[in-house]
Structure 1
Amino acid sequence: MLDAAAEFFAEKGFDVTSIDEIATEARVSKGAVYHHFADKRAIFDEVFQVSQAEVLAHVRKAITTASGDEDDRQPWLVAVTAVQDFLDSYVTDARKRSLLRQSASVLGVRRCREIDDELALPLVLGLLEELRARGELKDVSIKMAGTVIFGTLCEAATTLALADDHEKAGREASQVVSHMLSGLLKNAS
């Protein structure tokens, strides 16, 4: 059901997608859809969560690759890699861009933030804690820095999702976010 719903939401949009279409494509009854989901918005919520989890799985994989040996780990390089891969997930996947564009209007800003706080914010906070533990981070509130950084990343991702040239917007967003984040480093000029 979720795959069918994701395809319809991404291709046609939330407003014009019907429960009937989702049920037909998923080869289940309309009653089966309502057994699992209260309404179409609940389906979109789940589809969006899955999409965001996929983005973060991609980021975690990139972080693991960039991390190398624990002794050689360079948290700043890991953070920059995470930013790049987060944005690249939207640059390279039209479905994720479409779902992101619709998320605030379908779910509301508060629900989108709840999803982000649950799925992504812990990753950002973990990277900041690692930078602090290594003595590389200026004396800032980790919670506030993480919230502001992730808010910036969300705005960058949304902006590139709305852009006519999402590849160019993705490159520009990655550059700007990286420069902004470098200001948190103790050795930043």
Structure 2
Amino acid sequence: MTVKSRREEYAALTRAALVESAADLFTEKGFDVTSVDDIAGAARVSKGAVYHHFQDKRAIFDQVFRISQQEVLAQVDEALAVSDETDRSPWQVAATAVQSFLSSYVADARKRSLLRQSAGVLGVRRCREIDDELALPLVLGLLDQLAERDELQPVSRDMAATMIFGTLCEAATTLAFAEDHETAGRDATLVAGYMLAGLVKEAS
């Protein structure tokens, strides 16, 4: 086990404070209005400390959004762990994952705000890189479970995973922009369920 030096611990705490302060400001004020000075002030560090840890404001948002997406997927993992304990079928597990993914945005205003801003700040390509890294392995794992039970239609799992998560991301973005995000979330969950059901092979 590696023991961190006092300097390393302080650096980690400073970085965490910057990320948390930036997340609050990006949510409340928006990326464009928030300045590096605002972030430094909220975190109670110097402006130089900000640039010691991050190249620019966009790099801070990148980290903030990445953490937000990790939190969403952690909630999905938690829901799946509960499903495993109830001996549900892989398809029921997949449906649980969809509901948990979309519900996390319905329940959290910060996540909705960051998602609304993400493409404009980071660009579609960077958002997709983050999602591909964090989420695609989870989707592929669920498809593998269906395939192992011979419950998956004869499709490319890589393409299916990409399209499934693309659909879920679009649904999450739509509900994030909706005035009534709770209704939008319910509608998105229902529609996604019907769309994904087409991938399940009918019992012969």
- Whether TM-score is above 0.5 comes out as yes
Partners of 1:65 and 1:177 in 2: how far apart?
21
How many aligned positions are there? Answer: 186
Structure 2 match to 1:21: 38
Partners of 1:13 and 1:78 in 2: how far apart?
36
Structure 2 match to 1:164: 179
Structure 2 match to 1:66: 83
1:79 CA drift (Å):
0.4
Structure 2 counterpart SS, 1:152: helix
Partners of 1:114 and 1:157 in 2: how far apart?
17
1:3 to 11, 15, 20: 20
Structure 2 counterpart SS, 1:14: coil
Moved over 4 A (4+): none
Structure 2, unaligned stretches of length 5 or more?
1-17
1:73 CA drift (Å):
4.1
Structure 2 match to 1:34: 51
1:187 CA drift (Å):
1.4
1:4-49 deviation per Cα after TM superposition (whole angstroms, max 9, x unaligned)? 0000001110000011111111011100000000000000000000
**Aligned 1:165-180 pairs, distance under 5 A:** 165-180=180-195
What's the Cα RMSD here?
0.9
Q: TM-score normalised to the size of structure 1?
A: 0.97
Partners of 2:88 and 2:99 in 1: how far apart?
18
Structure 1, unaligned stretches of length 5 or more?
none
Q: Which has the larger radius of gyration?
A: 2
Structure 1 match to 2:13: none
Structure 2 match to 1:135: 150
1:168 CA drift (Å):
0.1
1:68 CA drift (Å):
1.7
1:50-93 deviation per Cα after TM superposition (whole angstroms, max 9, x unaligned)? 00000000000001101126xx3411111000000000000000
